[in-house]
Every structure is written in structure tokens, then in C-alpha cells.
Structure 1
């Protein structure tokens, strides 16, 4: 299909329902995935048709559980009449969009005040909603990965030089762990991009659980992650890396299917493997690729001049 084709022609003249279905699916998926905020597609009768992954961070409710639920079940009783009336006005009046707020029922029977921006699409016969939590950090958009909620590439570029400067002053070590998920592409190819997104979110959560307060976890992009551990002891770092490998190869349940993946980890230590952020990242990346070539699902420390065989711990 010619991508420059007039969308109005597709809507009005195309007789192939599959083409239209794919058009709407791609459009919807892109919007849900790229938005930095909570997003939802809600049917005309108030059922959550689709949501992105951000809802779980704020509400504690997973995407799988929210999909299929009805919005009215999550609106505080005292706010229902007003919120539903505002949504109905989008269908019965000439306004194109509306904004309102109400108390949303989250996991644990707690309510959180959320701000909603809503349009109604007659072509989709559904409401498209972006939802903001006013309590969230104001500058999160700049330094937070849209999908996983981890720190992003920009934050890594800001934080790592500062961590190294502090380590130089204190004469201490810093560990940089470069992590690549094994088997991620197969999940994307077989179950689709939404399942791949869910896998990335779950993997990020597992990494955060292992790393805890010992360091920071970043997602520079794709299925690659970086962990920075200040005041690093080699044995402690090896223990963390081993736990990460173990946790990331544990089975996931995604869209009611069992998914098996793994992770390859490369580790570089400051100042032994480099004294700048760039050198350390390069060293950790080389160690990670040696693990990939050596069979994956493991970790290795970087060693200068290492040949084709990884030094696995």
C-alpha cells in the first residue's frame, strides 16, 4: 500500500476491511506506545479496549487486568455522574475534546486524582484518552524512558560522568553493566509488539528489584539496558550480575502465554577498564558481545586484549 495514499480515500472508498483494520491498528499502537503518559482506548459503552504500560506504575493495575474492565468501576462514586456526563457530551455535542479529573480506584482500594484529556473518534467508535498524574515529578519526561519508567539515555549521559567524578575524588570503583535481552526479537515476531513492550516492562521491573538501592538502571533504547553501580566491589558486582541473569531468564506469562528469554551481561570497572563514560560503555559492550558469542545467558567482566572467548564468572 502506498504510504502517501489519502487516508480519507481509505476510510471512504477502500473495500478491503483488512486494510482498514491494519491501518487503525498501526495508528493506535504507535499512539499508545510513544506517549509518555497513561493512554487508553475506551469503547463507546465504557470498556477499556486497550491501554499502554504506564498504568501499572501509577495505579498498580496491570495492562492485562485493566483491558476488558469498565471505566465506571474505577470512578469514585461521588465523581461518576459528572465524569460520565463529560464523556457523553463528546458524542452529543459539537465539541472535539474535553478535559476533566476524577478519583480513580487503584490497586489496594486507594483512589488517585487523575487528569483526563479525551476525544471521541467516530471512525473508531471509541474514546481516545491521555491521562496525567499531577503528583508525578515535573521533569520526568526529559530523563525517563517512556515505556519502562526507567531512566533513559539522556539521564545516563548526565549521571555517569558525575558518578565517575565522585569515584575519582573518593578513589573508589564504579561498575557499568551492559545488558542485552536474549530472545526478545522472537517474542516480538511471534506475539507482536504489544507483547514485546510488556516483556520490556516486566524485565525492567525485575532489574530494579535486583539492583535495588545499590545502583541505578537505565534503558538507552530497544532491548538494551545499563546498570551503574558506584562504590563497586568486584565480588558484589558479580553477585548482582548473577542474580540479574537468573531473574531475567525466569519464565514470563504474557497474554496468557509462557515466554522464555534470557540476558547477556558485560561488565566494565572504573578505572581499570576506562576512565571516561565512553570508554567504560565501550568496554562493557564488548564484554556483552563476547558473552553472546559464547552461548548467551551469562555475564562476563571485560579484560583488555581478550580474544574470541569470554571470561565468564
Structure 2
């Protein structure tokens, strides 16, 4: 459905409202898993009937309530920040997980894929039970719906395991934090569809470069993580980082135009820079932002960033 044409050509607000309603209804009815439409204020406007089996809440229970009521207290700030980022940073879609408070004081970890629709002024969400015993459901829970990469939930569960294995074997591990440069401009000028296409192609390029050397995760938006276990030395990490930067700054053909973006990449090493998943991610994130501050389209090691700060 061409929403932009409708918005410009149709002058009857009631007709537009009904068109949006029927499209939303069709999406909810045909979906095979848990789906929800949530307003910008966080109110659950509508859900399908699949929630009852997983959360024990009926459609009537959830409609009109607020999402924050079901988010575990310790997860609320992070989830709300992810939703807000969809609007303020113009990234279009994201994925995250949190502990959902079900009926009878039970909680389940649900993996969410969320798209913000400016036409509907609402979030369109799908949720998967990460604790499901069904193999297909479990696989979907750890997969980013747009790019097919591992998602944030997969990173949260796999990174501690990788660090534990590195500690047992005495191996080093390198973690890359990647942020695409110029992605917002693509969304602003060519629209969210072009932005999503760019993300899919960027993910494909990363796969081609990394191959079997490591694992790639999409955090959400235009942020990615590459985990490189058994990294023999700094030179190996630098070589791979250079290849990623070079590949990601090659232009894309989108909507008949040649679009140039880039990538800022921060590298942190275990055990040299950090010993826990949280601090390792934080170190790589800080290194990535230093790259952005110095002109983007490059990579930096956290160790060098700290050394530079000490000498300034």
C-alpha cells in the first residue's frame, strides 16, 4: 500500500483511518507468532491471540495496558531507550530482549523485533519466547529478522561463554564494535526501505570478510559486533578491521543512486582491556566513538585510545 500517495491524495481522514486499521488487522491476523502494535506512549493498542499461550494474558488483558507494566524493573531503562532510539536516530528497526512479567508471577525472556512506522505513528512488534523448547522458535529468537545475523540476545548469551572458553585455554579474544557512518542520511533522503536494504547488504559484506574467523551480531539499528575468538595477536585483528572498513565504505547502488557510507570500528581485547562482557563492550564502544570524533571511516584499539588520553 502506498501510504505517501494516500496521505497526499486522500482528503478524508476517516478513509485513511479505516485503511490503516484494516492493514494492521490483516498483519495481526496472518502472523504466526506473537505480534503487537504499540503507540508512541507505550500503550498496547492491539495484539493477536498468540500471547495467551506464552504469557497467559488474553488479547483483552493486554489491549489498552502499557508495555512498561510487563517489563522487568531492571530491564525497563534499556528497553525504553531502544524504543526511543527508533524515533530519534531514524534507524527504522531494532531488536532486543527482556524479561516479560507473565500472569501468576511468572516471567519469560522474550526476544523482540520492532519496526517504527511513521505512517501509523506506532511500533509494530513481533516477540518470540527465547525459552521455548521448540528448535525453530529458539533459532528465531537468536536471529535478527532483517539481516539474518545473530542478534543482541545471542550476543548476551554467547559472549560470556566465549570469554569463559578463552580463560580456560589462555587464548585472546578481540571484539569489534561497528557503527555505520552516513546511515541516517540514507534514511532521511531515500527512506526506511532503502535504509533496510543498506543494512542487509552491509551484513552480507561483513559475512564475506569475516567468514569462519568469527561471529557477527547486529545490536540494533546500524550497530554491529564482530567477535574474533582465538585472536593470535593485534596484527590479526588490525588486518581484519582494515578489510571491514574498506569493504563497508565501498558505494552501494540504492534506488538507482550510488550511495557512499562508511564504518567506524572500535576494538577491545580480552583479557588485556577487560575481563567481563559488559566492560569489554564498553571499551570497544569508547574506541569506536574516538574514531568518529577523529573523522570516521577507520578503526582504533581501545589500548591506543587510553594511551592517547594519558598523554594529552
Written as runs of structure 1 = structure 2, the 5 A alignment for 1:29-178 is: 137-178=136-177
Structure exhibiting the larger radius of gyration computed from Cα positions: 1
- Does residue 15 in structure 1 map to residue 15 in structure 2? no
Q: Relative to structure 1, is the Cα distance of residues 171 and 307 closer, same or farther in structure 2, using a 3 angstrom cutoff?
A: closer
Does structure 2 conserve the Cα–Cα contact (< 8 Å) formed by 1:273 and 1:283? yes
Which consecutive unaligned segments of at least 5 residues does structure 1 have?
Answer: 1-9, 37-135
Does structure 2 conserve the Cα–Cα contact (< 8 Å) formed by 1:210 and 1:243? yes
- Does residue 180 in structure 1 map to residue 179 in structure 2? yes
When normalised by structure 2's length, the TM-score is 0.57
Measure, in 2, the Cα distance between the counterparts of 1:22 and 1:247: 42
Tell me the equivalent position of 1:300.
300
After TM superposition, what 4+ stretches of structure 1 lie above 4 angstroms from structure 2? 16-24, 307-311
Measure, in 2, the Cα distance between the counterparts of 1:192 and 1:297: 23
Q: Relative to structure 1, is the Cα distance of residues 246 and 163 closer, same or farther in structure 2, using a 3 angstrom cutoff?
A: same
Tell me, what secondary structure is at the counterpart of 2:217? Answer: strand
Tell me the equivalent position of 1:48.
none
Tell me the equivalent position of 2:279.
279
Tell me, what secondary structure is at the counterpart of 2:226? Answer: strand
Measure, in 1, the Cα distance between the counterparts of 2:227 and 2:286: 16
> How many residue pairs are counted as aligned between the two chains?
199
Tell me the equivalent position of 2:228.
229
Tell me the equivalent position of 1:247.
247
Tell me, what secondary structure is at the counterpart of 1:214? Answer: coil
Does structure 1 conserve the Cα–Cα contact (< 8 Å) formed by 2:175 and 2:226? yes
Cα RMSD, aligned residues only: 3.5
Measure, in 2, the Cα distance between the counterparts of 1:184 and 1:165: 35
If each structure's helix is expressed as a fraction of its own residues, which one has the higher value? Answer: 2
Q: Relative to structure 1, is the Cα distance of residues 304 and 248 closer, same or farther in structure 2, using a 3 angstrom cutoff?
A: closer
Q: Relative to structure 1, is the Cα distance of residues 173 and 193 closer, same or farther in structure 2, using a 3 angstrom cutoff?
A: same
Measure, in 1, the Cα distance between the counterparts of 2:220 and 2:32: 15
Does structure 2 conserve the Cα–Cα contact (< 8 Å) formed by 1:294 and 1:310? no
Tell me the equivalent position of 1:256.
256
Question: How far does residue 139 in structure 1 lie from its aligned partner after superposition?
Answer: 2.3
Q: Relative to structure 1, is the Cα distance of residues 235 and 304 closer, same or farther in structure 2, using a 3 angstrom cutoff?
A: closer
Tell me, what secondary structure is at the counterpart of 1:244? Answer: helix
When normalised by structure 1's length, the TM-score is 0.57
